[in-house]
A and B are shown apart, each in its own frame.
Chain A
Amino acid sequence: MAYEIIDNCVSCWACEGVCPSGAISPGTLHGKAHFVIDAKKCTECEGDYADAQCASICPIEGAILNPLKAWANPPGSLTGIPPERLAAAMAEIQAR
């Protein structure tokens, strides 16, 4: 089992530097720069840390899936912006 980075990664390198297993490297997804976790190397940080390191430093909500394929950081959990508020603001901007 392993953590997985999905397509809204912004390639900020934060996770790469804190992974105790050297499992994270820059790559591409759908032609876009994007970090990748090598599932064979990922240990979920077991034995090293209480929390998965990539998921603990990632600034982007919804960018990392945990081994259960659920968001490690669901919308609203990091920025504090309620998801419905964000959606309303984005809809308003697009309507301009």
Chain B
Amino acid sequence: MELTVLGQPAEQATIEAEGGCSSSGCGSDSDSLSHLPDHIREKVHNHPCYSEEAHHHYARMHVAVAPACNIQCHYCNRKYDCANESRPGVVSELLSPDDAVKKVMAVAAEIPQMTVLGIAGPGDPLANPERTFETFQQLTEKAPDIKLCVSTNGLALPEQVEELSKHNIDHVTITINTVDPEIGAQIYPWVYWNNRRIKGVKGARILIEQQQKGLKMLTDRGILVKVNSVMIPGVNDKHLEEVSRVVKDNGAFLHNVMPLIAEAEHGTFYGVMGQRGPTHDELQALQDACAGDMNMMRHCRQCRADAVGLLGEDRGDEFTMDKVEVMDIDYEAAMERRKQVQDDIEKQRKMKQAGLVALEGLSVQKKELRPVLMAVATSGGGIINEHFGHAKEFLIYEANATDVRFISHRKVELYCGGGDTCGDGESVLDQIIKTLSGCEAVLCSKIGYEPWDLLEAAGIMPNGEHAMEDIEQAVAAVYAEMAENGALEKPAPTKQIAAQAGA
């Protein structure tokens, strides 16, 4: 038995690198993009929101030019406008198209690995067609090296498809939470349609019809469509497998099932009414169930409508309009530098693919080895390069005897704020350990003694031995080590907890 990611012949690895295949996706995984046609893989190769592998290297940004919305969702509150909050629909500063273009060019010059500009709100981009398309048109002329994409609820999509296809937009995301109007009425209290506010099942039916119609029209024109779905336990969780099948039939190439975010302080219907979000395990189980039929995306960070940077980071504060206004941008020079930086990233990605070697560790031929979840601290680049105490999120990988695959990310509070603020460290650490439940190892560049002891006591083995190494290689190596030392013959930690509770 060997890891396919690591054990593939060098020749094959090179071919796959050319085609833009994610290393974690080249195995037998059903959620890889590897079996998609070349022209699609090429389009998503450097798109952080579509390719899991790309998101380690490339950044994206959203510009908040689209304030108006034509529907109400129960997980959204239009009153909310907070700088410290990170979720879709939230922005700090609304931009005119002219200002948005200035901001995009400033970010492109400062963050050369930024490949993608999306318009995602804070309302619905297609309910603000003039502002949205004005922004796209200017960017097509002034910054032709940036990919454009748009995210919509789908209600106005059929009437805007023609216009969309004129703007060199090859990525569209539609949020589709249901294909059943009865369920829709529990998610969407109203839609604004044909100059009327239409409530309940009738409104939801119209929305669903327009979403599916728009999806088909886009895919008929060769535009790539990703579908986002919010998993709402007790409302649409059982139904999302069907949604996944239907949107695949209608041409969507990727499905992103995201957890509901609902807190009372957000003032949303679900938040105030106490609707809970899914657990990590529930989300993963649903993503795995959908993966039988569909390519699944698992690395979404549900970012703000004005986010800037790598997924999982937000550098929006560096690019507020007052700062952008005084930046002097030479875009010709910036484009050259962008190309150089992006070419270097591609070289690194190819080297990584070609340099993978089989690990001897897994030559241990034992009975079927159980899978293991591991948490990884990284600040980008696809390597283990973050101190445990500085991690704002952990990436969760699953290793088994044949493959290493990315599962999800889990956000945490900073354990170490530096200096004197470690006083609260302990309770934060407890919280982090809870967040990492189910994981058996945490891989980071460094870790202090105190968290080490507590993690170890909780059954999560800290590991700083793979600092600056490739994430998937390191996860595979740790898994091989666990196989060698017999750790995989013990039951998984959740089962240990259950056994203790039962004892």
Chain A residues within CB distance 8 Å of chain B: 8, 10-14, 16-18, 49-51, 53, 56-57, 59-60, 78-81, 85-86, 89-90, 92-93
**Is B195 interfacial (CB 8 A cutoff)?**
yes
Minimum Cβ distance to chain A for residue B128 (Å):
7
**Chain B contacts of A11 at CB under 8 A?**
67, 94
User: Is the beta-carbon distance between B264 and A56 smaller than 8 angstroms?
Assistant: no
User: Is the beta-carbon distance between B197 and A79 smaller than 8 angstroms?
Assistant: no
**Chain B contacts of A93 at CB under 8 A?**
264-265
**Is B98 interfacial (CB 8 A cutoff)?**
no
Given A17-B68, A79-B72, A51 and B78 contact (CB-CB distance below 8 Å): no
Q: How far is the CA of A46 from the CA of B128 in the complex (A)?
A: 25
User: Is the beta-carbon distance between A85 and B68 smaller than 8 angstroms?
Assistant: no
Minimum Cβ distance to chain A for residue B206 (Å):
14
User: Is the beta-carbon distance between A12 and B123 smaller than 8 angstroms?
Assistant: yes
Of residues 249 through 284 on chain B, the ones whose CB sits less than 8 Å from some CB of chain A are 264-265, 267-269, 271-273
**Is B482 interfacial (CB 8 A cutoff)?**
no
Minimum Cβ distance to chain A for residue B75 (Å):
11
Minimum Cβ distance to chain B for residue A76 (Å):
10
- Count contacts on B: residues with CB < 8 A to the other chain: 29
User: Is the beta-carbon distance between A14 and B123 smaller than 8 angstroms?
Assistant: yes
User: Is the beta-carbon distance between A79 and B189 smaller than 8 angstroms?
Assistant: yes
**Chain B contacts of A79 at CB under 8 A?**
72, 74, 77, 189, 268-269
**Is B81 interfacial (CB 8 A cutoff)?**
yes
**Chain A contacts of B70 at CB under 8 A?**
14, 57
Q: How far is the CA of A48 from the CA of B206 in the complex (A)?
A: 22
**Chain A contacts of B123 at CB under 8 A?**
12-14
**Chain A contacts of B268 at CB under 8 A?**
79
User: Is the beta-carbon distance between B269 and A12 smaller than 8 angstroms?
Assistant: no
User: Is the beta-carbon distance between B192 and A12 smaller than 8 angstroms?
Assistant: no
**Chain A contacts of B74 at CB under 8 A?**
79-80
**Is B303 interfacial (CB 8 A cutoff)?**
no
Given A80-B74, A80-B189, A51 and B196 contact (CB-CB distance below 8 Å): yes
User: Is the beta-carbon distance between A13 and B128 smaller than 8 angstroms?
Assistant: yes
User: Is the beta-carbon distance between B69 and A56 smaller than 8 angstroms?
Assistant: no
**Chain B contacts of A89 at CB under 8 A?**
264, 271-272
* Besides A14-B68, A50-B196, A85-B273, 6 new A-B residue pairs in contact (Cβ under 8 A), listed by A number: A14-B192, A59-B78, A78-B72, A81-B269, A85-B272, A92-B264
**Chain A contacts of B94 at CB under 8 A?**
11
Most chain A CB inside 10 Å of its own CB: which residue of B189, B268, B271: B189
User: Is the beta-carbon distance between B67 and A12 smaller than 8 angstroms?
Assistant: yes
Of residues 200 through 229 on chain B, the ones whose CB sits less than 8 Å from some CB of chain A are none
**Is B479 interfacial (CB 8 A cutoff)?**
no
**Chain B contacts of A92 at CB under 8 A?**
264
